């Protein structure tokens, strides 16, 4: 479990820029199969990122069929409109360029121009695009939870190792 700082990509391709894998011990970077991220956070999004070399775990945690909740905190350019909770929670929010609507999401206002959103899927830039669909621009985005794992007080750029047995009972 890594607290991803801004400015790093979740890619093994060095052409895309500095990556989260550079924060890991050398022995992990040499693993075969390689360590990969469970889902991705875009370059500017911070927060909880899981890394593993177990492809079955990646599938189980990222497949929309399993509905694993992911919680994000967003700082916005304005307060979401009054109907944003209903719109995002209804399952009617269709993102530009897509044919099928997003799965229902839970939106909670946590302060002026700040909101928390819980998703069970992980489309390309989904949180940013969902806020855009209700008229808001995301200035900062931070993932605080993935399933029942919380980021807690883990410092940005640091990680903790979780035992694989943690996931075997889930």
Residues marked active site are found at 42
Say if residues 105 and 80 touch (Cβ distance below 8 Å): no
Q: Cα separation of 108 and 91, whole Å?
A: 16
Q: Cα separation of 139 and 76, whole Å?
A: 5
Give 113's Cβ-side CA count (13 Å radius): 9
CA-based diameter of the chain, in Å? 50
As given in the structure block, the two tokens for residue 62 are 């990222």
Q: Which residues pair with 108 in a beta bridge?
A: 116
| Neighbour count for residue 55 (Cβ, 10 Å) | 10
């Amino acid at each position: 479990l890594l607290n991803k700082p801004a400015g790093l990509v979740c890619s093994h391709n060095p052409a895309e820029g500095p990556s989260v894998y550079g924060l890991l011990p050398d022995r992990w970077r040499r693993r075969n199969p390689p360590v990969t991220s469970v889902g991705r956070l875009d370059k500017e999004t911070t927060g909880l990122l899981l890394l593993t070399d177990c492809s079955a775990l990646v599938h189980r945690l990222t497949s929309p069929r399993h509905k694993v909740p992911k919680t994000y905190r967003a700082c916005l350019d304005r307060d979401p409109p009054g109907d944003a909770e209903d719109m995002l929670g209804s399952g009617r929010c269709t993102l530009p360029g897509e044919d099928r609507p997003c799965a229902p999401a839970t939106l909670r206002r946590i302060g002026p121009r700040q909101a928390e959103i819980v998703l069970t899927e992980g489309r390309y830039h989904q949180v940013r695009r969902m806020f855009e669909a209700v008229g808001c621009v995301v200035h900062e985005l931070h993932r605080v939870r993935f399933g029942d794992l919380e980021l807690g007080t883990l410092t940005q750029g640091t990680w903790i190792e979780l035992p694989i047995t943690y996931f075997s009972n889930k």
